[in-house]
Amino acid sequence: MPPGLFPVSSTVAPATDPARFLQRLGDILPPERVLAGQAQLAAYESDGLTAFRTAPLAIAVPETQAEVIALVRLCHAEKIPFVARGSGTSLSGGSTPVAGGLVITLNRLNRILRVDPAQRLAVVEPGVINTAVTLAVASYGLHYAPDPSSQSICTIGGNVAFNSGGAHCLKYGMTSNHVLGLKAILATGEVVEFGGASREQLGPDWCGLFVGNEGLFGIALEITLQLLPRAEVFHTVLAGYRTLEQAGDAVSAIIASGLLPGAIEIMDALALEAASAAVHAEYPPGCEAVLIVELEGPREVVAAQRPQLDALIAASNPVGARPARDANERAAIWKGRKSAFSAVGRLSPDFIVQDGVVPRRRLGEALRRIAEMSRAAGIRCANVFHAGDGNLHPLILYNGTESGALERAEILAGKILHMCVEMGGSITGEHGVGLEKRDYLATMFNADELDCLHRLRDAFDPLGLANPGKMFPDGTAPALAQHGLHPLEKAGLISRE
Amino acid sequence: MNATLTPTTLAELVAAVRSAPHVLAIGARTKPRLFAVAPDVTLISTLGLSGITEYQPDEFTFTALAGTPLREITATLAARGQYLPFDPYLLDAGATLGGTLAAGLSGPGRFRFGGLRDFILGVRFVDGAGRLVRLGGKVVKNAAGFDVPKFFVGSLGRFGVFGELTFKVFPRPATTLTLRLPVADANAASQILTTAAGARWEIDALDLLPTADAVALRLAGPAAALPLLATEILTRFPGETLSAATADALWADLRELRWTFTKGPLLKLALTPAQLPTLAATVRAHAGRIHVTAGGNAALVSLPATIASLGLPALTLRGPGPLWLDAPAPPAITAAVKTALDPQNRFPSLAA
């Protein structure tokens, strides 16, 4: 059995009397914004990682920054663990509650506080939905670049906590590269401000350290995001290949050419089958893999680069290739890609989304080994990945009602992560370590390195109250559960990546 | 005089850190104010830790020892059609990769794709307890563990001694084209910086020159596209296209800080374009010079003599005067993080 795969279920023992804590919660929030009934708690007991669940002590629904500050300070005073939660889309179990702890939901802190088109920035609260930022600034010709597949529902606060990525990271980086400033309440109860309106900084990069803290340092209250001018034109090409390897070779050729596409994505046959069924996406007949490449920029630049890309693709021997002729066709290509994960729900009642990274040149080898491991385990595995970044998302399909199926799927997932580390990559490209991969952190870092990470955590949160049990193993664990897809995912309304 | 050690291996680097109660890493000494510290601090030169240890052009990454001169890195990348898009400073002066990270100095190219913070991927460093640790990763995308490599940008070596660094790189654009746009004053410059930055042109660099009379706007991309973009830009903002030789000389002079006074402080500031007119007036009132870069988000100021304040926080890179002017109040968490990475206070404080 892989390390800590089925940890012993236990609870963090609160140092205080829960009844007194709930009463003091009532001093901060009106009764209708403290949820402690069984049915209410059940709604929050898991997130995008549906295989795990834990019922918390209570849910707090603050509406203002002052309320969040008061809640964290109360947790600190009463030594009650807390978990911040946005839309609950974390695929690493990042917002899974802690038994005996408080869940602080941030969805009502959803104000866009300021948009400065001249300085190209927006100041937002953590509950603002990712796409709402771009919607709010589109009239200025600006956009917010990070685009996780769950962007129509996930929040900026969650993106900040887990340094979310998306399909356009190759050129634009992750969430961290777009956060200029932060106001946060640390687990100690201190309110801090890092960074500011400038794209440059003096002194150490505190924002950089805070982004991706997985909720272990505290809660972001206000986030200053840099905005970019929206690309004037796009050239999005979808090419089908007989083998995954050919699609991979096409990626290598594009990378070697000196082009810097905004996105380079690949989907394998199983993912294509799912996407075709779910959103009626059309793919070239007879293809086992699809490559999506997107150039973007001023029309003159794209016009000059387009023949180069088209020639590279033509030379890569696709069974079919077609550029999007207009914005609708581009949107359709991306819809197929971004719905792929949820669409896999049509092929299997349950699945695990993995998030490993391998060096790009070893993508072909990694995919071959995943296929072999998948065959050997008798478990189907669909692959959707950010080929430009070497970021793999194997989707491991299982039926949770079969005894031992989840456990077997977890073992395969673990083998894939070990392979990623062995190849010089990472156990997570963009989902974070969270609850799901905490037992694998030690495969990337040695004892001194883990100790260094622990000391940093202790600096921000000496009592260990902020999202305990995530990133680092701590002996506690939620119960494994059989949930299947979220109902909204089944309806095709939300997606994950 | 501070004692200086020059380790030549990472093991020797660890030993050097452990050998003295107070240490600070230095590179090629191109930003001397950053290591003008108390005489009991032992300086650890990284010049013996030089060389690119891994370079995979098709991964868009390289790893190099901290004391590797930038010019060696840029030449190696250029030979494979790649570059560090943030245009590091002081190449000819011998500046090192580690010193550049510690100083947090990103050049004009940071305008388009971001600065050091957007390209640093991983760091192997010796913490204050004398342990060699590697955080971050060696692949272009990694979200495992806290992002300590980013924290080190601008940390002045006060939280750890860098041994080896991994950076992301990009393919070098096929061509560049630089426009010189004359401006009457800093207000006019601020206007151009703001307007151009929001436009569709995907500008590569956007600077107000130290001569204060023109904005330099650089485009980078396919040869067929740039003259078309330039024509449109010049109809919006009067100016001229510089010859390749003139443009190369202009950017090289900025890169090597050839416009600065030989004596007097050289300071780095972070700002917004809206703050530019006031800052420029303050600098002028003190007979100083200013190079505004990154579309009005960063500036280097050279003054003939020390002054007490520029009205904005500033870091002295070289020359006399305090390390910080109008030092930003450090976040309350600073002391705890310092203790976490440097429990014995082996490295000087950020304040000195």
Question: pLDDT tens, A266-300?
Answer: 999 999 988 888 887 789 888 999 999 999 999 99
**Taking CB atoms and an 8 Å cutoff, what residues of chain A touch B104?**
201-203, 205
Q: How many domains are there within chain B?
A: 2
- The secondary structure of residue A193, as a DSSP letter, is E
Q: Which residues of A touch B144 (CB under 8 A)?
A: 426-428, 433, 437, 441, 444-445
Looking at A210, A229, A248, the residue that finishes a domain is A229
CA angle B25, B27, B31 (to 5 degrees): 100
Please indicate, yes or no, whether residues B81 and B137 belong to a single structural domain of this protein: yes
Residue B96 in contact with partner chain A when CB distance is under 8 A: no
Whether A103 is covered by a domain: the verdict is yes
A8 — pLDDT class (breaks 50, 70, 90): very low
Identify whether residues A142 and A92 lie together within a single domain: no
A143 and A173 in a single domain? The answer is yes
pLDDT score at A9: 34
Between A153-162, A338-347, B208-217, the lowest mean confidence (pLDDT) is in: A338-347
Domain boundary among B171, B193, B226: B171
Among B111, B142, B171, identify where a domain stops: B171
**Count of C-beta atoms within a 10 Å radius of residue B75:** 11
Domain presence at residue A488? no
Residue B338 lies in a domain: no
Which of A301, A358, A433 to mutate to test binding with chain B, by most B CBs within 10 Å of its CB?
A301
- Cβ contacts of B197 on chain A, cutoff 8 Å: 120, 229
Please list every residue in chain B whose beta carbon sits closer than 8 Å to the beta carbon of residue A140. Answer: 198
A427-465 b/e (C-beta count within 10 Å ≥ 16 → b): bbbbbbbbbbbbbbbebbbeeebbebbebbbebbbeebb
User: Each residue of B296-345: pLDDT tens digit?
Assistant: 999 999 999 999 999 999 999 999 999 999 987 888 899 999 999 999 99
Same domain assignment for residues B213 and B308:
yes
Tokens 């003096």 belong to residue: A202
> Within an 8 Å CB–CB cutoff, is residue A427 touching chain B?
yes
Q: Is the pLDDT of residue B131 over 60?
A: yes
Q: Which residue in chain B is spatially nearest to A424 when comparing CA positions?
A: B138
Contacts of A430 in chain B (CB under 8 A): 141, 143
**Strand partners of residue B318:** B266
Per the domain annotation, does A401 fall within a domain? no
Q: How many other CB atoms are there within 10 angstroms of residue A104's CB atom? A: 25
Query: Which residues of A are less than 8 Å from B298 in CB distance?
Result: 198-200
Verify that A242 and A220 share a domain, yes or no: no
Query: Does residue B96 lie within any of the structural domains?
Result: yes
B112 and chain A: CB distance < 8 Å anywhere?
no
Q: Which of B151, B198, B269 sits opposite A229 (nearest CB)?
A: B198
Write the pLDDT tens digit of every residue in B65-100. Answer: 999 999 999 999 999 999 999 999 999 999 999 999
Q: Which of A320, A342, A364 is the last residue of a domain?
A: A342
Which comes out higher in pLDDT, residue A110 or A354? Answer: A110
CATH code for position A307:
3.30.70.2190
Q: Does A202 touch chain B (CB under 8 A)?
A: yes
Residue B156 lies in a domain: yes
Taking 3-state DSSP, the helix, strand and coil percentages for chain A, each rounded to the nearest 5, stand at: 40, 20, 40
Cβ(B173)–Cβ(A238) below 8 Å:
no
In terms of Cβ atoms closer than 10 Å to its own Cβ (0-12, 13-18, 19+), residue B262 is exposed
Residue B172 CA to its chain's centroid (Å): 19
Percent of all residues in chain A with a pLDDT value above 90, rounded to a whole number: 74
Q: B337 lies in a domain? A: no
Measured over the CA atoms of residue A102, residue A103, residue A108 and residue A112, the dihedral's sign is positive
Do both B129 and B195 map to the same domain?
Answer: no
Question: What CA–CA distance (Å, rounded) separates A237 from A294?
Answer: 6
Domain co-membership, A319 together with A273: yes
For A112, phi then psi, to 5°, come to: -90, 105
Task: Transcribe A43-103 into DSSP letters.
Answer: TTS--S-TTEE---SEEE---SHHHHHHHHHHHHHHT--EEEESSS--SS-TT---TT-EE
CB contact (8 A) between residue A456 and residue B298: no
Measured between CB atoms, does B133 come within 8 Å of chain A? Answer: yes
Residues A266 and A315 occupy one common structural domain: yes
Q: Please check whether residues B297 and B285 belong to one and the same domain.
A: yes
CB-CB neighbors (< 8 A) of B277 in chain A: none
Of A165, A173, A232, the CB nearest to B200: A232
Q: Looking at residue B330, what DSSP letter applies?
A: P
Tell me how far apart the alpha carbons of residues B223 and A93 are, in angstroms, rounded to a whole number. 48
Question: Is A10 domain-assigned?
Answer: no
For B219, name the nearest residue in chain A, comparing CA atoms only: A301
- What is the reported pTM? 0.94
Dihedral sign for Cα atoms in the order A408, A161, A210, A16:
negative
Q: Does the beta-carbon distance from B273 to A118 stay under 8 Å?
A: yes
pLDDT at A264: 95
CB pair distance less than 8 Å for A165 and B154: no
Same domain, A216 and A247: no
- The distance of Cα B251 from the centroid of its chain, to the nearest Å, equals 15
Please indicate whether, in this complex, the C-beta atoms of B117 and A205 are within 8 angstroms of each other. yes
Regarding whether B119 and B198 lie in a shared domain, the answer is no
Q: Residue B343: inside a domain, yes or no?
A: no
- B114 near A CB under 8 A: yes
Sorting pLDDT into bands at 50, 70 and 90, what band is B270? very high
In a domain, B105, yes or no: yes
On whether both B159 and B137 belong to a single domain, the answer is yes
pLDDT value of residue A60: 98
Residues on chain B touching A449 (C-beta within 8 angstroms): 133-135, 145
- The pLDDT of A129-150, averaged and rounded, is 95
Task: Flag if A204 and B174 touch (Cβ within 8 Å).
Answer: no
| Same-domain check for residues A248 and A305 | yes
Residue among A186, A202, A301 minimizing CB distance to B154? A202
Q: Which of B143, B171, B199 is the last residue of a domain?
A: B171
Higher-confidence residue: A338 or B2?
A: B2
- Go through B35-62 and write b for each residue having 16 or more CB atoms within 10 A of its CB, e for each that does not: bebeeebbbbbbbbbbeeeebbbebbbb
| pLDDT higher than threshold 70 for residue A425 | yes
pLDDT at A5: 33
ipTM: 0.97
Least confident of A327-331, B201-205, B283-287: A327-331
Instruction: Give CA–CA dist B210/B289, Å, rounded.
Output: 6
In this structure, the answer to whether residues A164 and A224 fall within a common structural domain is: yes
What is the distance in angstroms between the Cα of B48 and the nearest Cα belonging to chain A? 25
Contact state of B172 with A258 under an 8 Å Cβ cutoff: yes
Residue A201 to residue B143, Cβ atoms within 8 A: no
Residues B217 and B286 grouped into a single domain: yes
Domain that holds residue B101: 4-171
Q: Is the model's pLDDT at B124 over the cut of 80?
A: yes
What is the layout of strands, in order, in the sheet containing B175-182?
B240-241, B175-182, B214-221, B205-208, B289-293, B298-302, B266-270, B314-318, B324-325
* Contact between A392 and A420 (Cβ < 8 Å): yes
Average pLDDT, rounded, for chain B:
97
- Asked whether the beta carbons of residue A456 and residue B200 sit closer than 8 angstroms, the reply is no
Within-domain flag for A175: yes
Final residue before a domain boundary, out of A229, A264, A295: A229
pLDDT of amino acid B345: 97
Residue B278 CA: distances (Å) to CA of A385, B193, B273, B312: 49, 15, 10, 10
> Does B297 lie in the same domain as B206?
yes
Q: What is the CATH number of the domain that holds A30?
A: 3.30.43.10
CA distance B313 to B293: 16
Q: How far apart are CA A490 and CA A278, in angstroms?
A: 10
Beta strand pairing call for A58-60 and A102-105: parallel
Under an 8 A CB cutoff, do A205 and B174 touch?
A: no
A392 assigned to some structural domain: no
Greatest pairwise CA separation for chain A in angstroms: 70
Q: How many CB atoms lie within 10 A of CB A196?
A: 19
Residue B196, token pair as written in the block: 């151009």
Q: Which of A12-16, A465-469, B138-142 has the lowest mean pLDDT?
A: A12-16
Token pair 């590797």: residue: B68
Are B312 and B236 contained in the same domain? yes
Total tally of structural domains belonging to chain A: 3
Q: Given its phi and psi angles, is residue A404 left (phi above 0), alpha (psi -120 to 50 degrees) or beta?
A: left
For helices A244-256 and A299-315, the axis angle rounded to 10 degrees is 140
Q: Cβ–Cβ contacts within 10 Å for residue B3, how many?
A: 13
> For residues A182 and A274, which has the higher predicted lDDT (pLDDT)?
A182
Q: Are residues A242 and A155 in the same domain?
A: no
User: A92 and A137 share a domain?
Assistant: no
The CA distance from A271 to B10, in Å, is 46
Could you tell me if B35 and B106 lie in one domain? Answer: yes
The answer to whether A320 contacts chain B (CB < 8 Å) is: no
| Cα separation, B45 vs B73, whole angstroms | 19
Q: Mean pLDDT across chain A, nearest whole number?
A: 90
Taking the C-alpha atoms of residue B136 and residue A458, their distance in angstroms, rounded to an integer, is 19
State pLDDT tens for residues B41-68: 999 999 999 999 999 999 999 999 999 9
Which pLDDT band holds residue A3 (cuts at 50, 70, 90)? very low
Is 60 exceeded by the pLDDT of residue A494? Answer: no
Specify if B340 maps to a domain.
no
The answer on A215 and A170 residing in a single domain is yes
A361 touches B56 (CB < 8 A): yes
Domain harbouring A221, CATH code:
3.30.465.10
pLDDT at B151: 98
Give the pLDDT confidence score for residue A17 in this predicted structure: 85
Judge if B240 and B123 occupy the same domain.
no
Q: Are residues A62 and A140 in the same domain?
A: no
What CATH number is associated with residue B13? 3.30.465.10
> Do B75 and B132 fall into the same domain?
yes
Residues 237-296 of B with CB under 8 A from A: 268-274, 294-295
Range of the domain at A468: 18-107+456-481
Tell me, what's the pLDDT at A492? 53
From the CA of B321, how many Å to the nearest CA of chain A? 17
Domain-located, residue B33: yes
| Per-residue pLDDT at A339 | 83
> H or E element: which one contains A335?
helix A327-338
Residue A11 has a pLDDT of 42
Query: What DSSP string runs through A107-165?
Result: TT---EEEEETTTTEEEE-TTSBHHHHHHHHGGGTEE-----TTTTT-BHHHHHHHT--
A458 touches B: beta carbon within 8 Å: yes
